[in-house]
A and B are shown apart, each in its own frame.
Chain A
Amino acid sequence: MANDSIEIKVCLGTSGSAAGGEEVLRLFKHHVQEQGVEARVGRRCSPSKVGCRGFCSKDVLVDVILDGSKTTYQLVTPNMVERIVLEHVIDGKPIAEWTVKEEYASFHAKQHKIVLGPCGEIDPESIDDYIAMRGYRAARKAITQMKPEEVIGQVITSGLRGRGGSGFGTGEKWRVCRGAPGDVKYAVCNIGEVNRPLAEGNPHAIIEGLLVGGYAIGAAKGFLYIRERYHRSVERLSIALEQARERGFVGRNIFGTGFDFEMEFSFGTEAFICGEETALMESIEGKRAMPRVRPPFPAYAGLWGRPTVINNAETFSNIPLIIGMGGEWFSKIGTATSKGTKVFTLSGKVRNNGLVEIPMGMPFREIVYGIGGGIEGDKTLKGIQVGGPSGGIIPTSMLDMGLDYEHLARVGSIVGSGGMVVFDEDDCIVNVAKFYLEFLQRESCGKCVPCRIGTKRMSELLTKITEGKGEENDLRTMERLAGVMATTSLCGLGRTAPNPFLTSFNHFRDEYLAHIREKKCPAGVCTALITFSVLAEKCKACGLCKRACPAGAITGAPKQPHVIDPEKCVKCGACYRACKFKAIKKA
C-alpha cells in the first residue's frame, strides 16, 4: 500500500467479531464511501479486516493510521464509526476519549511478538499482504536453495520445541521422520483451540510452515487437521490455501523445482482427545479418535502406517521465521533450553485478558502484573493454571519462576498448548481442581482404565471435599490414585490428568485441610461450606437484603437488625451483594 494512504484496520478475530466487528467494518466502508473520503483527502483509504491483536477485553479495536501515526480506538460500536470517519479520517483530529488507554501500551510493551506479529496488522484474507511481509520467501529459500537436511539443520539449530504440549525438539522429530524408511510420508498440522487466533490472523504462516516441513521430511502430502466447528479459522485457512495454490506455492512443481506438495483439510469433531497426535491420526483415517499404542511412533509408522510428522500450528508458524532469519537468530530468543516465544491466552482474574506472546523464560510476575496489568479489583493473586486443563497450578510463591519447559516440568506442570488462567483470593483451589478433573473425565476417550475410571473417581473425591464430606483419608486415596493414573495411563491425557489435583494439593494443602477438618471453604465458594449471617452491629435495617433474597429466608422489622434463617437460606449470596453496609457475613 502506498505510504500516504489512510489505513483503517478493524479487528475481526473471534472476539472482535463477537463484539460486532463485522458491522463496524461494514460501516467504515460505508462512511468512507459516502463521505467521499478518498476524493476529499486525495488519498487512498480502504478499511480492512485484521486478525486478533490480543487485547480482547476491549474489542472491537480499530486502528486508524494516518501520516504514519497509528491511533487505536477501543470498544468501538457501530454508532461511533461516523464520527471517527468525519473527525479523524477527514479532519485529522483523533477522538481522544475513545482511544486506548495506557494499559494497551503496557499490555504490548513486554510482549515479544514474532509469531503473532502480523496478526492484527495484515488482512488475513490477502496473500499479497502476507507476501508484502516477506511471506513465502522462507519457503522459496528452503525449496529452491536448501537441501532438506539443511532445512532440518536450521530447525535443529534454532532449538525450536513443539508448542503443542510435549515440547519435543521439532528438528529432531523431522530428522527421524526423514530418515525413516518409506517413500510415502505425511506432514500434519495440528490446529487446536488455542491456535485459532493464528489461523484467523495469519493463516499463510501455518501453510508456509507446513509446506517447509513437508519438504524437509520428504512428504508429498500435508493435512490441516482442525475441528470443523472453528468456522472462522477454517474459512480463513481455506481462503489462504486456495490463494497459495493459485500462486503455485502448493500443488505440483513448486517454485519450478519439481517438488510436489498437496495440502488438504481433515476435520475433527469437538473432542479434546482429537488433539492427541495418535488419536488425531485415527481421526484422519476416519476412525474414532482414540490414542494408539506406542511404539510404533508416528515418525516411523503414522498415518496409514507411513512415517508422519505432526506439529502444532504454532510450531509450524515459527518455521518461516527460522528459515527466513536463520536458526541462530531464533536461538537467541528465550532461555538456554527453551527457545523462542510462546503464545498464551491470558484469562481469569487478570485485568488485561487476551492473547499474548512472550519470550520463553519470562517470569510469571511479569506476565501477570506487567502484561496482565495485575489482578482485577486489586485482589490478591492466588495461583496461575498453566498448560491447559491438565496443567498445574503455580502458587504466588513461585511468581518469580520463568515460564519455560524445564521450570514447569519441575513443578509438575506443562507448557501445554497455551492456556493461562489467573485465580485470585475469591477462587477456591479445591473447586478449581474439581473443575479441571471433571473436564478431563468428560473428555477422556474411555479407552484405558486408569484414565476412564481414575478421572471419575478423582472428580468424585474432589466433589466430596467441596461438599464438606471429605475425610483425611480421601487425600491419601487421591495421591495413590494420582500415582496410578500418571504412570499407567495410555496417553498424555490420563498421564497428566492428576496434575491439577497434585499441584494444587502440593501448594495449597491448608485449603484442602480447611475443607476437610474445619468444614470451611476459605474462599467462600463451596456453597455447602458457607453460611450467611447478618452482623447485627453493622445492620442498618434498610431491608435491601430482605428484598433481594429469593428464598424468603430473611426477616426483620424496621430499625431491628435483620436475621437470616439458615434452614431457608439457599446460599445464593444475593443478600451479600445487595447489602451496602457490609453487614452480611459470609463464612
Chain B
Amino acid sequence: MKHDMVTITIDGRKTSVPVGTTILAAAQQMGIHIPVLCHHPKLTVTGACRVCIVEIGGQPVTSCTAVAEEGMEVTTASPYIEGLRRDIVDLILSDHPYDCMVCERAGDCELQELAYKYSIRQPVFQGERRIYTKRDGNPFIERDMEKCILCGRCVKVCDEVQGVGAIDYAYKGFETKICPPFERDLDCEFCGQCIAVCPTGALVSKPSLGKGRKRNVNTVETVCPYCGCGCNITYDVVKNEVIRARSRQDTINEGWLCVKGKFGFSFINSPDRLTTPLIRKDGKLVPAGWDEALDLIGERLRKIRAADGPDAIAGLSSARCTNEENYLFQKLMRAGVGTNNVDHCARY
C-alpha cells in the first residue's frame, strides 16, 4: 500500500483512494451512484441537503463531507439509509409547489428525479409552504423562490466562480431565502452561472421561457458565435431555432458561460440580421452575391490606393471574429493594402 493512499470498502468492494478523498468522490469513481442535491463538483462542500448520507459504522454520515480513512466500511444504500433519504426528499417536497407539469425544468430537475426514485406522490410530512411573489424585473433570470430548495449552489457559484456575490441567504428558519441585498431586483452581471447550477426550476432563463423543455429539444454542440474567445457551447434547438444556451461540464468551458453566450443568441433568428452582402445602387441598398461584393471592394480599394496612396485607407475589425480571422485581416491591410491603419473594436 502506498503511503498516501487509504483503502476503504464501499458496498463490499475494496478501493484505494488518495488521502483526503471524500466518500462521495470515492464512490463516484467506482461507479456507485449516491444522490446529491447541494453538492456540485466545481464548488466547495456545502453539506446542506443531507441526501448523500451513507452508513459508516452504523451511523448516517454525509458522504460529501466524510473523508476516507483506512479500513472504513461504507454502505451507500441500506434500507435504513434509503429510508432517511426518502424522508429528507419528502420534507423538501412538503415545501415545494407541485407544478412539475408546467415547470421549465421538468424532465431535467434533480429534485424530480429523487421524487421519482423514492416514489413520493404525496409527502408524509405535510404543512405550510412558502409563498412568494415573483417580481424580478430583469430581462434574463426568472427567480421562483418557491421552488428553491436552498441548496446554496447559486450563492456559491456567484461568489466562488464568478466573484460577484450578488446573492446570499437572508432571514432564518423556515423563512430562509436566497435573494439579492435588501430583496431588491437582481442587478448583477447576468452571467447565468446560477441558472446553470440550480438543481430545480427555481432559476431559469427568461428568454427561453415556454419555448421547450428537455424532451422537446435537439441539442447542438458548437462554438459560441458571440466573440472571438470561441467558447464551447451547447444549444437547445427547437424547429431550427436556438431557444437556450448551455455549457457542458465536460467541455473546455467546464459549465460556465458569460452573459453574451448565455443570453445573447436572439440575433441568430432576428429579421434584422444581415445574411447577404448589400451594395448601394442608385442610392439604394440591394442584396448582392459574395463574389460581386468582394470584386467591388477590391476594385474600389485599388482605385483609392492609386489615387491617394495606401494611408488613405483604414481597416477596423471586430471582436466577434476569431484570432485567425483578425490575423488575416491585419495581414490584408498591412501586406495587401500597405497601410498600418488597422484597428479592432475591442482594443479600446
Contact = CB atoms under 8 A, between A and B. Distances in A.
A448 B92 contact: no
B49 interface: yes
Contacts of A448: 47-50
Interface residues of A, number: 35
Interface stretch (B11-19, B60-68, B136-144, B198-206): B60-68
B26 to A, nearest CB: 15
Question: Most chain-B Cβ atoms within 10 A of its Cβ — which of A271, A292, A452, A461?
Answer: A452
Interface string B87-118: 11001101100000000000000000000000
Interface string B19-49: 0000000000000000000000000011111
B46 A444 contact: no
Interface stretch (B165-173, B210-218, B315-323): B165-173
A295 interface: yes
Given A442-B173, A456-B173, A449 B125 contact: no
A489 B50 contact: yes
Given A454-B91, A488-B53, A490-B47, A446 B67 contact: no
Main secondary structure of the interface of A (DSSP, over half): helix
B125 A453 contact: yes
B84 interface: yes
Contact of A457 (B51, B53, B91, B172): B91
Contact of A293 (B62, B87, B92, B174): B62
Interface in A216-275: 271, 273
A293 B128 contact: no
Contacts of B175: 446
Interface in B55-92: 59-60, 62, 64-65, 67, 84, 87-88, 91-92
Given A444-B174, A447-B152, A457-B91, A290 B169 contact: yes
B127 A456 contact: yes
A460 interface: yes
Contacts of A446: 150, 169, 171-176
Interface string A488-514: 111000000000000000000000000
A295 B60 contact: no
B169 A449 contact: no
B127 to A, nearest CB: 4
A417 to B, nearest CB: 19
B50 A490 contact: yes
B124 interface: yes
A477 B50 contact: no
B172 A442 contact: yes
Given A295-B67, A448-B47, A456-B174, A487 B125 contact: no
B88 A450 contact: yes
Contacts of A444: 172-174, 176
A441 B50 contact: no
Question: Most chain-A Cβ atoms within 10 A of its Cβ — which of B48, B50, B126?
Answer: B50
A441 B59 CA distance: 25
Given A446-B169, A449-B92, A477 B125 contact: yes
B92 A453 contact: yes
B62 A452 contact: no
Contact of B169 (A288, A456, A461): A288
Nearest to B91: A453
Given A293-B62, A456-B173, A449 B49 contact: yes
A445 to B, nearest CB: 6
Question: Most chain-B Cβ atoms within 10 A of its Cβ — which of A271, A454, A484?
Answer: A484
Nearest to B80: A487
A484 B47 contact: no
A266 B326 CA distance: 56
Nearest to B86: A484
Given A477-B125, A481-B125, A449 B174 contact: no
B171 A488 contact: no
Nearest to A490: B47
A103 interface: no
A441 B46 contact: no
B277 to A, nearest CB: 56
A441 B50 CA distance: 18
B304 to A, nearest CB: 63
Contact of B173 (A295, A452, A461): A452
A443 interface: yes
A288 B173 CA distance: 14
B169 A487 contact: no
Contacts of B149: 449
A296 to B, nearest CB: 9
A480 B123 CA distance: 13
Nearest to A444: B173
Contacts of A294: 65
6 contacts: A293-B64, A294-B65, A442-B172, A446-B172, A481-B87, A490-B48
Given A445-B176, A446-B174, A447-B48, 9 more contacts: A288-B168, A293-B64, A294-B65, A441-B174, A448-B48, A449-B91, A450-B50, A455-B174, A456-B127
Interface of B: 45-51, 53, 59-60, 62, 64-65, 67, 84, 87-88, 91-92, 94-95, 124-128, 149-150, 152, 168-169, 171-176
